[in-house]
Amino acid sequence: MPQPGTSEARSGLSVLDAVVILVGIVVGVGIFRTPSLVASQVDSEAAFLGVWLIGGLITLVGALCYAELSAAHPQSGGEYHFLSRAYGRPVAMLFGWARSAVIQTGAIAAVAFVLGDYAAAALPLGPYGSAVYAALAVVMLTAVNIAGTFQSKTLQLAVTTLEIGAILAIIGLGLLAAPEATAPSPVSAPAMGSLGLALVFVLLTYGGWNEASYLTGEVRDAPRNIARVFLIGTALLVGLYLLVNIALLAVLGLEGLRRSDAVAADMMRVVAGEAGAGIVTAAVVVAAVSTLNATIFTGARSAAALARDVTWLARMGEWNQARHTPTRGLLLQGAVALALVGFGAATQDGFRAMVDYGAPVFWGFMLMTGLALFVLRWREPERVLPFRVPLYPLTPILFCLACAYMLHSSIAYTGLGALVGLAAVAAGAPLLLFRRREVPPLPASSP
């Protein structure tokens, strides 16, 4: 018999568990889609690799900022708790709504559409086959997470291991079996060359590293270990992405990257034939499952944090002690993600619609989280910080400037979906009328 629900998470994740979840979230379908988009915005191979390195450095800077916040406030609500402490519960509640209705659920739907596109190509189900597969993926992986933290993290370890293995095979074959060097093909100037826009695509591919902050309530000895999770995870990501893109350049060259719609498959087709291209297709499906499972795992934690502050959602914040999961939060998240799959099915490109839907909201709240580091240092000067961001205040200033630029770019380069996402955030404002006023301030976390 399940034990009664509770609002407390259980500290059962090791550093390895958390790093696997972090890498599984980030190393998803983006690396199989965005290199050609980045190549179309730069004019040299050096610039192509340089923008990936810059994106990695921005990611590392952000990870250092989040490591300080997470070590000081080790709770499973992540950014929800940072914003609550810095700006008050109304701002945190609006973020919780935005994350549940736009950011996280939009990401879940986007990845599900990629998985659906590949599944529909292998086994067509009609004009809405991609959406059908996407919906089935959301339902099945939500069920796995409801079954329990042990089941969901075990699945994550398995699919992430397969995924990293496939990517390492791509790197190895690309570097070792690349065609012999010949006279380089002339590289044409990009039609719409823009390093700034290239960085938008790169940071989209790196996106998801911040999800480790939602694991702090469940990582063992989080004040000491969460910084290790962020630093090890981001270092692995930067290394993998640089090696993947070096391998792609070695085989296809910059011009070949620009002409390709499926860069990894085209690269493998050159070095290993159609069988190699088939391996990459399987790797994309594994990557989508990995990202989708990890995003569902972390997303329900913020939904549960929001539920505890809204009177009529209180039971959504309870944890099932037998399974160590926020069961009702997972169900609510799954329902919203399914609604977004329906919305995406009505557009020409479900994946692009979901990216447009969530990008401005995501970068706006990430900017507020970066600024929260300054606010909390000012408001809580006596707090002993288990981890301090190096080179303060330069490091968080650089992170906030990068977030501000990405917020501008996501509004400038996205379409109708961005307006729908912003409208969805505004629609959550009435939740503030139902906030639980008797809830005491969040407890100070022990260093």
Structure confidence at residue 314 as a pLDDT band (50, 70, 90): low
* Phi then psi dihedrals of residue 280, to 5 deg: -65, -40
Per-residue pLDDT, 388: 92
User: Average pLDDT over the chain, rounded to whole?
Assistant: 77
From the centroid of its chain, how far is CA 301?
14
- Encode pLDDT of 88-110 as tens digits: 888 888 887 888 788 888 888 88
* Residue range 235-260: mean pLDDT, rounded: 88
Structure confidence at residue 79 as a pLDDT band (50, 70, 90): confident
Q: How far is CA 371 from CA 100, 118, 128, 204, 281, in A?
A: 22, 40, 43, 21, 41
Q: Which position has the higher pLDDT, 159 or 405?
A: 405
Structure confidence at residue 397 as a pLDDT band (50, 70, 90): very high
**pLDDT at 133 > cutoff 80:** yes
Per-residue pLDDT, 432: 67
What are 385's two structure tokens? 């910080």
- CA dihedral over 107, 67, 151, 288, signed as positive or negative: positive
What's the rounded Cα separation, in Å, for the pair 55 and 303? 29
Domains, in order of start, for the chain:
5-432 (1.20.1740.10)
* Residue range 265-292: mean pLDDT, rounded: 76
* Phi then psi dihedrals of residue 319, to 5 deg: -105, 140
Per-residue pLDDT, 264: 74
**pLDDT at 328 > cutoff 60:** yes
What are 274's two structure tokens? 């159609």
Per-residue pLDDT, 378: 93
Structure confidence at residue 242 as a pLDDT band (50, 70, 90): very high
* Residue range 346-353: mean pLDDT, rounded: 76
* Phi then psi dihedrals of residue 13, to 5 deg: -100, 135
- The three state secondary structure string of 142-181 is HHHHHHCHHHHHHHHHHHHHHHHHHHHHHHHHHHHCCCCC
- Encode pLDDT of 372-388 as tens digits: 999 999 998 888 788 89
Structure confidence at residue 2 as a pLDDT band (50, 70, 90): very low
Burial of 446 (0-12, 13-18, 19+ CB in 10 A): exposed
**pLDDT at 368 > cutoff 90:** yes
Q: Which position has the higher pLDDT, 201 or 132?
A: 132
**pLDDT at 85 > cutoff 60:** yes
* Residue range 317-346: mean pLDDT, rounded: 75
CB atoms within 10 A of CB 211: 27
- The secondary structure of residue 210, as a DSSP letter, is G
Q: Which helix (H) or strand (E) holds 6?
A: strand 5-6
pTM of the entire structure?
A: 0.75
Per-residue pLDDT, 425: 85
The string over 346-374, giving b where at least 16 C-beta atoms fall within 10 Å of a residue's C-beta and e elsewhere, is: ebeebbbbbbbbbbbbbbbbbbbbbbbbe
